[in-house]
Amino acid sequence: MKIRPFLAAVLMLLCTGCSAGLSVENLLAAPKLDAQQNEIYQALISSSGSAVKLKYPKGGDHRSAFVIKDIDGEPTDEALVFYESESVQSGEAALRLKVLDQYDGSWQAVYDLACIGSEVESIAFTTLGEGGSTDIIVRFSMLNQTEQAFSVMSYADGIMTELYAASYSCLEVFDLNGDSFNELLTVSADKSTGISTALMLGRTEKGLEKLSETQLAGTHAEIVNTTKGMISEDVPALFVDYSRGQGQYGTDVIYCFGNRLICPDSIGENADSSIVSRFTNDYMTDIFSTDIDGDGFVEIPSTTPLPGYEVLTRPEQLCAVQWYTIQDNNFILEHYVCYSSKFNFVLLFPNRWRGVVSAVPNLQANEIIFIGYNSATGLEVNDATELMRIRIVDKNDVEQMKDAAGMTKIGETEEAVYCYSVTNGYKTGKLALTDSELQNSFIVF
């Protein structure tokens, strides 16, 4: 086997240790700058008076150290470069943003701004409200990597102006109040109390202003997911899924009435029995707000033990998931479902099943058995209690496919087939589902 010359050189340098002054990090250096980037870099060096260390955004649409874009509406582009200077003085911010503009065809540094963080998480461009000017939103992380901050800036006449800066737990840009212009919505948490506050910023005739602020209902240990969606045809919302610690989760929903932020109370006086609350165990991973039924509106999940599991401890409980919508600032139950995190399917329960049908997992056979529940028989599976079972069959397992030959296919993925069988008693009983009911109630995710 032949080794290419470059690879051979790399291997030789790695084998000789550090004596050559090279390391894997050196060998995997950033790619060579193109002509435009090199010109910008030289202008940056000239203006900074010393060598600099370029800082790259970690995420977002702009990952280059040289972000080139028209940010002032003039004919030429500007360049934004994040860097650290080796000559930074004590007390000065190490991370800085340099703005370079073009004059007579050459790049010149025009503005230097101290940044509020130690690393650049992302940089994005939008227009907040009327006026059409470009707003620059930069997200930063701090030295400990757990704290985050953001800055909103605008550039005009050679001057970069910071319009607003604050810490945040989550940050989203979208038209929340339905006025056809974007707003900036942030959520920040008080670490000592767990109380979170939502803030909406937008442009008015006076500039970038705070349009509304409200305290959220939930007590947040950590925000784990955010979803932008609709709660009705004309009401956009932000769904904030959060951890309360110790495997417990909840959701706050933020939307607008006019320019006033609203967050309906999902908690009430007792957080453990709140309307929107869920926990994880061996049966259930954390689940997020989503459009579970495909109707175009986002639903909010909450868990409750299936019949027969209420008396068991939390690690032993198999739960139904109740999916809520928002109507008139209240949480309204939309669906009661069996939600299998392990097998990746949902079965929507009809109203006549609620409270009288439960489920028993048979993990060895990759199936869930649905039974008619009563307190006398409990969770026992027998000819009298069993209604139906859903089995997940590996397409590549010949024996599994053979064993499921007598069952009916209800869905499939690239790897698996979902099959079901029903009992004679189920077919003729009041709990029976029609074929169309079953097809419309079964969802693979």
What's the rounded Cα separation, in Å, for the pair 444 and 267? 30
Q: Is the pLDDT of residue 110 over 60?
A: yes
Segment 223-239 mean pLDDT: 96
Q: What whole-number percentage of the chain has pLDDT above 90? A: 72
pLDDT category at 253 given cuts 50, 70, 90 is: very high
Render pLDDT for 157-184 as a digit per residue (tens, 0 to 9): 999 999 999 999 999 999 999 999 999 9
pTM of the entire structure?
A: 0.85
Q: Residue 235 CA to chain centroid, in angstroms?
A: 20
pLDDT greater at residue 61 or residue 50? 61
